[in-house]
Amino acid sequence: MIYYAPTTLKEFNKYCQAHDNISILAGGTDILPRWQSDSSIKPKVLVDIKKMNELNSIQYSDKEIIIGALTTIQELKIDPIIQQEFSALSQSAREFAGVQIRHRATIGGNICNASPAGDLIPSLYVYNAVIEIAGSKGKKRISIQKFITGVGQTALKKDEIVINIILPKSNEKSIFYKLGLRQSMAISVINFAIAYELDGNGRWKSLKIAAGSVAPTVASLTTFANALCDGNNVDESIQLVDNDISPIDDIRASSNYRRSVLKNVLKFTIKEIYVG
Amino acid sequence: MINQPYPISCKVNGQTITADVSPEMRLLDFLRYELDLTGAKEVCGEGECGACTVVLNGKTVNSCLILAVEVNGSKITTIEGLSDVGNLNQMQEAFVDHHSVQCGYCIPGMVLSGEQIIKDHEKPSRDTIKEDLSGNICRCTGYQKIVDAIESVSETS
């Protein structure tokens, strides 16, 4: 294995063009355990991006928050603006692993892993986050929904890297819920994020729900959310959740359990925020 | 596969270390086998248990999830760096006073996480202490006395 630690995007591009079989290292909290269990997946070339300072900041403006890809989960968790205006993301960072991993794992790494159980991803879906990508052909932006294409699959090409995660500001409130097999360090059995706004009469002005660990990618529960916005009652509409999910049986839970528990917890959560 | 050695320089417990390391070597193995600092332990090897906790640039991390090459230019403190020529620091004393140790395997990580908690929170509640200790697993003590020790330091500092 050859190790490189570029300090600029230009240098990064140079290494990408010079080598095949490159693996990008950010926090390393997912890739190192994977090497442990299967050493055949170790790459020929490891490009450690942590010295690229341009990926390491949170910028605030009136319209949006721009989160650098190397922002750690602990930095997200303690950021006062994110706590106030993007509370689902803040909550998901709080429930993310333990302190030692939060000091190391990055938001860019979490989305590039594209795990169906990735704890930050449902919040990014309901905020309509935009992913900024840099490659040898320049920079571009795509939505989080288009960025994640399957289990562990993203739209990222060989010479590209995620540089920023952009959250547009809105008047919506948001919440995050995670069910793990224990309170800490657990991979989600299911998780979800809700972003919503109520009008002066306490009716839905907007409602977006995204759930993790119930489909190959995080699932937007649009059928259910739209039914609620159209004035339908939660108890009658909850079955619509089934249309937007396709959970599997795995070591953590069965498909049927995931369906039931998601619907149950969603129902309670919606009733808590919507008195309507 | 050829492993091209990579030169690193870092400060470990205040001492400058330079070495050529294989890019595949983990920080935990570098500390234990190259520097003979065996306080950090390997238990799960996948970041679940916290027995390998060390402090990297002021923040606790799992040294089993970090490569030695990544710490080039960094400052590292291990459990061996807490005491001053054999004199235990306040957190270590508190663990002794509260009988927080049984087998001891998790304790270096627990002490370093305890230090991080005192640094991050002015007067942490027991719940905060427990939440921030969640990256460290102990199989003997039931945590009670570990939390007691950390709480006692937070009350006096």
pLDDT digits (tens, 9 = 90+) for A240-257: 999 999 998 888 889 999
Which residue in the set A1, A32, A36 is minimally distant from B23, CB to CB? A1
Residue B1 has pLDDT above 60, yes or no: no
Architecture category of domain A1-54 in CATH? 2-Layer Sandwich (3.30)
Whichever domain contains B37, its CATH number is: 3.10.20.30
Sheet with A64-68: strands ordered across: A58-60, A64-68, A161-168, A130-135, A138-143
Interatomic CA distance for residues B71 and B16, integer angstroms = 12
B27 and B56 in a single domain? The answer is yes
Sheet with A219-220: strands ordered across: A173-179, A190-198, A204-212, A219-220
Q: Look over chain B and give the mean of its residue pLDDT values, rounded to a whole number.
A: 95
B151 and B96 in a single domain? The answer is yes
Going by pLDDT thresholds of 50, 70 and 90, the confidence category of residue A184 is low
Whichever domain contains B141, its CATH number is: 1.10.150.120
Going by pLDDT thresholds of 50, 70 and 90, the confidence category of residue A265 is very high
**Mean pLDDT across B41-54:** 96
- Residue-range domain boundaries for chain A: 1-54, 173-273
- Closest chain B residue to A25, measured at CA: B70
- Is B1 part of a structural domain of the chain? no
* pLDDT above 70: percentage of residues in chain A: 99
pLDDT digits (tens, 9 = 90+) for A212-244: 999 999 999 999 999 999 999 999 999 999 999
- Is B123 part of a structural domain of the chain? yes
From A37-41, A102-106, B142-146, the region with the lowest mean pLDDT: A37-41
Interatomic CA distance for residues A62 and A42, integer angstroms = 43
B20 and B58 in a single domain? The answer is yes
* pLDDT above 90: percentage of residues in chain A: 84
Q: Which residues of B touch A99 (CB under 8 A)?
A: 60, 113, 116, 132, 134-135
Check: CB of residue A212 under 8 Å from CB of residue A96: no
B94 and B72 in a single domain? The answer is no
Contact A104 B69 (CB under 8 A): no
Which residue in the set B24, B46, B48 is minimally distant from A1, CB to CB? B24
Beta-carbon pairs below 8 A across chains A and B:
84
- Is B144 part of a structural domain of the chain? yes
Residue B4 has pLDDT above 90, yes or no: no
**Mean pLDDT across B41-62:** 96
Four-CA torsion B106, B119, A95, A105, nearest 10 degrees: -80
Interatomic CA distance for residues A10 and A73, integer angstroms = 26
Helix axes B144-156, B107-120, angle to 10 degrees: 40
Provide the domain count of chain B: 2
B66 and B117 in a single domain? The answer is no
B26 and B64 in a single domain? The answer is yes
Q: Does B116 touch chain A (CB under 8 A)?
A: yes
Residue type, B119: K
Residue A212 is predicted with a pLDDT of 94
B66 and B120 in a single domain? The answer is no
Q: Does B93 touch chain A (CB under 8 A)?
A: no
B10 and B76 in a single domain? The answer is yes
What is the maximal distance between C-alpha atoms in chain B?
54
B46 and B106 in a single domain? The answer is no
Contacts of A89 (CB under 8 A, 6+ apart): A76, A82, A120, A123, A124, A127, A167, A174, A176, A193
- If one looks up domain A173-273 in CATH, what number appears? 3.30.390.50
**How would you class A231 by CB atoms within 10 Å of its CB: exposed for 0-12, middle for 13-18, buried for 19 or more?**
exposed
B105 and B71 in a single domain? The answer is no
Going by pLDDT thresholds of 50, 70 and 90, the confidence category of residue A262 is very high
Q: Does A101 touch chain B (CB under 8 A)?
A: yes
* Structural domain for B18, as ranges: 6-81
B77 and B126 in a single domain? The answer is no
Residue B2 is predicted with a pLDDT of 65
From A13-22, A59-68, A156-165, the region with the lowest mean pLDDT: A13-22
Mutation choice for A interface testing from B25, B70, B128 by most A CBs within 10 A: B70
- Closest chain A residue to B53, measured at CA: A100
Q: Which residues of A touch B135 (CB under 8 A)?
A: 97-101, 184-185
- Is B44 part of a structural domain of the chain? yes
pLDDT digits (tens, 9 = 90+) for B72-121: 999 999 999 998 888 999 999 999 999 999 999 999 999 999 999 999 99
